[in-house]
Amino acid sequence: MHDIKELISQMTLEEKASLCSGKDFWNLKGIERLGIPSIMVTDGPHGLRKKAGDSSDQIGLSDSVPATCFPTASALAATWNRELIYQVGEALGEECREEKVGVILGPGANIKRSPLCGRNFEYFSEDPYLSGEIAKSHINGVQSQGVGTSLKHYAVNNQEYRRMTIDAIVDERALREIYLAGYEIAVKESQPWTMMCAYNKVNGTYCSEHKYLMDDVLRGEWGYKGLVVTDWGAMNERVKGLTAGIELEMPGVNNGNNAMIVAAVTSGELDEAVLDQAVERILKMIFKTEKTLSEDYQYNRQSHHALARRVAGEGAVLLKNENNVLPLPKTAKIALLGQFAKTPRYQGAGSSLMNPTQLDNIYDEMTKLVGEENITFAPGYHAKQNEIDSELIREAVGTAQKADAVVVCVGLPDIFEVEGLDRGHMRLPQSHNALIEAVAKAHSKVVVVLSNGSPVEMPWANQIQAILEGYLGGQAGAGAIADILFGEVNPSGKLAETFPIKLEDNPSYHYFPGGPNTIEYRESIYVGYRYFDTAAADVLFPFGHGLSYTTFEYSDLQLSQRTLTDNETLTVTLTVKNTGDVAGKRSSNSTCVM
């Protein structure tokens, strides 16, 4: 045990100030003479992205150690399965233990205000309750391994456009009911070791100086016990940040901020007790990792890959299945079209980009299940081009015409969804849409498999027979798709976000992304399904939608009481009977997924 207050009493003012920023890009400072170690933090959230030891890439984007790439947040939320997400968290914690990482930076719990946000693949839902529950499970799983998390990006960070400086103007009701509620659930029920403040301003004040958000709400109302760290480079005025409750500035750079802290204490501008409290919180977090990081550990790569496949299977959503075209007979001749079938889009681009321990593709996984002789392939389009290649489409149509059924693999290329840039539209590449439309005219059994991190427009939805939303399914997502296509797995995923018919239908359409200085949240609480339900507006696929290969019957609905006060809980019970021929999915917390 460490007497942290005694350690602080032995520090110089300069040493205290130095602990409030990183040693470098990924490491916190230590003080050797006092036995305070330096610990490593690194990116997540769907897999560990740790810079390789001999890499010259400081950030680690181009060269990171191999780690299990789990499905991204949009797919995790579509499982609606707390226990499964807890297991993902456990696995991430185990991989951090092997790599001696003290804190993994995630999960992200920002609300999906617009389908255009370039980082939506990293966020869970348009619904704060679902976001909070999934984030809580993720955090508790990681932290069960003696490894910390960093719940981000707090708060109201719902776009990439001018994310460093944009001022989000949001009314108090929407702030509380929509944009903070998920964080509140996760903080109260999991106590993440760190919270990461966002770059942007909220109602005129940078998050890195926002006493109302960081101190009054987070600590005062929610009882948060951990420390607050900036997003990398998000600090504005360092002394104001400390006063507001921002303990740790990352990354460590020679910007003079430590000297500003010293000068502010020396002049009396900053009470030294505020600095001492910040140092105490930092040391508590560092010493929490001590036992874990002192022990060698090795995780089971194959079991983590198998878990990734199971999660991808539960996160995939069957959007349409006309005339029960799925599952496909294993004896059928299948035309597999689309370059994504061999070159998968399986994770998002940006700071979460990682190096998987292995990577499956749909072509290989389908041939493993039914034999290579039953699968014929045609690329249909160029993986990294938007333009239509008529020759590739003609080849694909010819391949389709010789098959019993057609599976078309399409989605959003990396450049369409990337941290730092919002999407300009909700359309697939022209080449992908053209391939689907051409094949739909030539065949009566067409299945579209989507690989994307957020909603897309589907002008061809009524022309084809089945749509399987695979999201960004991680390194084992291809195997999960093959399992579902051939009935090895009964799909059970449910959308955690609304799919509008077209971009213009979205309630934030006229106000997104705003700028140059402000973004106004004029739709207030009417985000996602709250708007579409209230306005009785048509959608392509609603929040919570997801089909199954079986059917269910509901009966005996009972309410625990007929009237409620504000502080009472209503319990609803009913009997669910599987009336089909296939086993359904039921999670262990008695939440049925149908």
Does any domain span residue 306?
Answer: no
Q: Do 515 and 564 sit in the same domain of this protein?
A: no
Counting Cβ atoms within 10 Å, is residue 343 exposed (0-12), middle (13-18) or buried (19+)? Answer: middle
Confidence at residue 481, expressed as pLDDT on a 0 to 100 scale: 98
Q: Do 64 and 211 sit in the same domain of this protein?
A: yes
Q: Phi/psi zone of residue 405: left (φ > 0), alpha (ψ -120 to 50 degrees), beta? A: beta
Indicate the DSSP class of residue 499: B
Does any domain span residue 182?
Answer: yes
Mark out the alpha helices in 443-535 (DSSP H runs). Answer: 477-485, 529-535
Q: Do 582 and 525 sit in the same domain of this protein?
A: no
Q: Do 583 and 506 sit in the same domain of this protein?
A: no
Q: Do 556 and 531 sit in the same domain of this protein?
A: no
Counting Cβ atoms within 10 Å, is residue 407 exposed (0-12), middle (13-18) or buried (19+)? Answer: buried
The CATH number of whichever domain residue 102 belongs to comes to 3.20.20.300
Q: What global pTM score does this model have?
A: 0.95
Confidence at residue 145, expressed as pLDDT on a 0 to 100 scale: 98
Closest residue by Cα to residue 457 from 115, 169, 198: 115
Q: Do 389 and 269 sit in the same domain of this protein?
A: no
Confidence at residue 590, expressed as pLDDT on a 0 to 100 scale: 46
Q: Do 512 and 382 sit in the same domain of this protein?
A: yes
Does any domain span residue 216?
Answer: yes
Q: Do 80 and 216 sit in the same domain of this protein?
A: yes
Residues of the chain with pLDDT under 50: 588-594
Q: Do 364 and 444 sit in the same domain of this protein?
A: yes
- The HSE-up count of residue 81 (CA atoms within 13 Å, CB side) is 27
The CATH number of whichever domain residue 316 belongs to comes to 3.40.50.1700
Q: Which two tokens stand for residue 511?
A: 């106000």
Q: Do 290 and 322 sit in the same domain of this protein?
A: no
Q: Do 386 and 522 sit in the same domain of this protein?
A: yes
Does any domain span residue 302?
Answer: no
From 267, 294, 321, the end of a domain falls on: 294
Range of the domain at 416: 312-535
Q: Which two tokens stand for residue 17?
A: 């100030």
Does any domain span residue 17?
Answer: yes
- The HSE-up count of residue 206 (CA atoms within 13 Å, CB side) is 20
Q: Phi/psi zone of residue 348: left (φ > 0), alpha (ψ -120 to 50 degrees), beta? A: beta
Does any domain span residue 303?
Answer: no
Catalytic residues: 231
Q: Do 98 and 187 sit in the same domain of this protein?
A: yes
Confidence at residue 61, expressed as pLDDT on a 0 to 100 scale: 59
Does any domain span residue 300?
Answer: no
Confidence at residue 586, expressed as pLDDT on a 0 to 100 scale: 65
φ and ψ of 325, to 5 deg: -65, -30
Does any domain span residue 415?
Answer: yes
Q: Which two tokens stand for residue 62?
A: 């181009």
Number of domains in the chain: 3
